[in-house]
Structure 1
Amino acid sequence: MPRVQRSPPATPQETDNNPPIFSTPDLFSKPNEPDTANITSRTKRQRPDYSPECEVKTFEDKIMKLFTAWKTDQESLLKKLTSELTEIKLQNVEIQKTNAETLKTVEFLSQDYDSIKKSLQKLETENNEQRNYIVNLEKKIEDLQSSSRSACIEIRNVPEVEKETAGDLTSIVLKTFETIQPSENTPQLRDVYRLPGKKGSSRPIVAEFLTVPSKIQVLEACRAFNKGLPSTEKLNTGHIGVPGQVKPVYIADHLPRSQRQLFFEARSFAKTNKYKFCWSQNGKIFLRKSEGMDSVIIRSTACLKKLLTIEK
């Protein structure tokens, strides 16, 4: 059987005739004091962590932390930049000092360079003067040598006899003269000797006459003897009685060493460039292209270079 609940009795209504009845009168209340005894304080309920207000506050805290960290980094970076700028300024000051010292050094070196340049120019001028003086001296020496050899001839390609004496050389020279000019009087000799050279080579024989006309006479006689003859019948060792294999014999002016080298180059030039004649006479070297043409005096290798330019 279901339980039956009874309603509570009705509370009598408060009216002017029926005032409220309190069980415990307020014996200690003051007449002028407002009646707040029945007012109770309200405790504020704490918000949960997931509320929007907490999320905003947490975001603000994060932003502040980031801003604080960024500010700290910026201050550190600014201090570092300030320190580096200060160091750069100090370095700049040192560089300026170094540049000033370098500029002074450059100016000093420039002055020294100008002084050295003037000295070098002076030395170069003196050197050119000395060189010209030496060239003039060499020409004078060559002239003296040519004049001292003006009565000398060379007889080339005559083999050297073992234990050869001055008498043997004189005999060879006289036989040569008799071969090329048998009807003429034999020219008188002043000296006969061989030039220095390598062992085993046919060193030229130098025959020195008493007079220049005697030398010229022998040279003309040699040209006349060889003229018109084939190469095998021209003056050779067989004509002068030298034993052994027959070799051609050449008679020419006796030139100084520098002139001999020039004569050798002139003969090579003549052979290469088809010059028909190349000879020396009275210490001078001549070239001629062909018969009937003018002869050219060769005084130096520059003359050969000039001729080569003309040929081209």
Structure 2
Amino acid sequence: MDKKFDALAENFTTLKKSVTDQLAALTQKIGTWESRIQKLEEQVEKTQELSTIIENRDKEIASLNTGIQSLQEQLNVQEQSHLRNELEIAGIIETENENLHHIIGVLAHKIGLELHPSDVDRVTRVGPKSALNKSNSEPRCVVVRFIRNTKRNDMINAARIRKHITTEDLDIKGTPKKLYFNERLTKANRSLFREARIRAKQAGYRFTWVKNGCIYVRREKEKSPKQIHNIDDVERILGPPPMAQCTAPVQGRPTNA
């Protein structure tokens, strides 16, 4: 019996040592896991802090973008206001040693507008100069800056009545070209007007025009016009572009209604 008790005690001691060793190893593993969990918690906390910082930065950026857009719109309005007396005429054939003041005087007479030299501040062509007498080259537009906005509008209205006036009416040699009269627009407004014309046509709007630097669309004659201030108005009023929207440039010249 003593031998059996001694063997049992020895086995118990061995088992106790084994359990103790396993508990020590388990305790070590738990300590390692706790350390890892703590690091993960710290990383999660840092990630949350970074996420909050990024969210705040995004809000700041959105606010700055809104402010920039507002400033750009204000600058565009001011720039358009500086062009309120200017008229753009497309289609006048470009020749050497041309007298644009004389041409504009003849043109005013042809459309029935009384125009005095004192009504005009300056007349010039705009755009990159191309080789003259090329059959495939479009003449640069002629820009007329009037002293008063009312005289600019008078010429537009007179030209609207004489819709089919051409270079032949001005005794300009060459193939007759139809003349187009438009208010002069800023670069931003030209781009917006072009997009509005494309989208209006796709949305079934019959009329797109510019008046005093402002862009309008109207579905039918009986409907009230809607003003386009920015691209957001294009999306809101005319809807998103179709998936198969053609990206080719618009043919012809824009006209005011």
Assess same fold via TM > 0.5. yes
Q: How does 1:175-254 map onto structure 2 within 5 Å?
A: 175-181=106-112, 184-186=114-116, 188-197=119-128, 199=130, 200-226=137-163, 234-254=164-184
Q: Quick check: 2:216–2:228 contact (8 Å CA) kept in 1? A: yes
Tell me what 2:66 maps to: 132
Q: Quick check: 1:177–1:186 contact (8 Å CA) kept in 2? A: no
Deviations 1:260-298 (A, max 9, x none): 111112222343344333211110012222333322212
Residue 239 of structure 1: SS of its match in structure 2? helix
Q: Quick check: 2:108–2:115 contact (8 Å CA) kept in 1? A: no
Once residues 240 and 89 of structure 1 are traced to their aligned partners in structure 2, the CA distance between those partners, rounded to angstroms, is 107
The yes-or-no answer on 1:261 pairing with 2:191 is yes
Q: Please state how far the C-alpha of 1:223 moved relative to its aligned partner.
A: 1.1
What is the aligned residue count?
A: 215
Q: Quick check: 2:105–2:115 contact (8 Å CA) kept in 1? A: no
* Structure possessing the higher relative contact order (Cα contacts under 8 Å, 6 or more residues apart): 2
Higher mean alpha-carbon deviation, 199-208 vs 95-104, is at: 95-104
- The AA in structure 2 aligned to 1:262 is L
Q: Quick check: 1:153–1:252 contact (8 Å CA) kept in 2? A: yes
Once residues 107 and 160 of structure 1 are traced to their aligned partners in structure 2, the CA distance between those partners, rounded to angstroms, is 75
Q: Quick check: 1:178–1:186 contact (8 Å CA) kept in 2? A: no
Root mean square deviation, CA, Å:
2.9
Tell me what 1:305 maps to: 235
Once residues 144 and 91 of structure 1 are traced to their aligned partners in structure 2, the CA distance between those partners, rounded to angstroms, is 78
- The AA in structure 2 aligned to 1:307 is I
Tell me what 1:174 maps to: 105
For the structure 1 residues 90 and 155, does the alpha-carbon distance in structure 2 shift closer, same or farther, using more than 3 Å as the test?
A: farther
Once residues 121 and 213 of structure 1 are traced to their aligned partners in structure 2, the CA distance between those partners, rounded to angstroms, is 52
Q: Please state how far the C-alpha of 1:94 moved relative to its aligned partner.
A: 6.5
Q: How does 1:29-68 map onto structure 2 within 5 Å?
A: none
Once residues 128 and 149 of structure 1 are traced to their aligned partners in structure 2, the CA distance between those partners, rounded to angstroms, is 31
Structure 1: which 5+ runs fail to align? 1-86, 227-233
Q: Quick check: 2:90–2:180 contact (8 Å CA) kept in 1? A: yes
TM-score, normalising length from structure 2?
A: 0.72
Q: Please state how far the C-alpha of 1:103 moved relative to its aligned partner.
A: 1.8
* Overall identity of the aligned pairs, in %: 21
Q: Quick check: 1:236–1:249 contact (8 Å CA) kept in 2? A: yes
Tell me what 2:40 maps to: 106
Once residues 89 and 196 of structure 1 are traced to their aligned partners in structure 2, the CA distance between those partners, rounded to angstroms, is 87
Deviations 1:131-177 (A, max 9, x none): 1211221121111111100101111133333xx56x63333333322
Once residues 210 and 37 of structure 2 are traced to their aligned partners in structure 1, the CA distance between those partners, rounded to angstroms, is 66
Residue 124 of structure 1: SS of its match in structure 2? helix
The yes-or-no answer on 1:272 pairing with 2:202 is yes
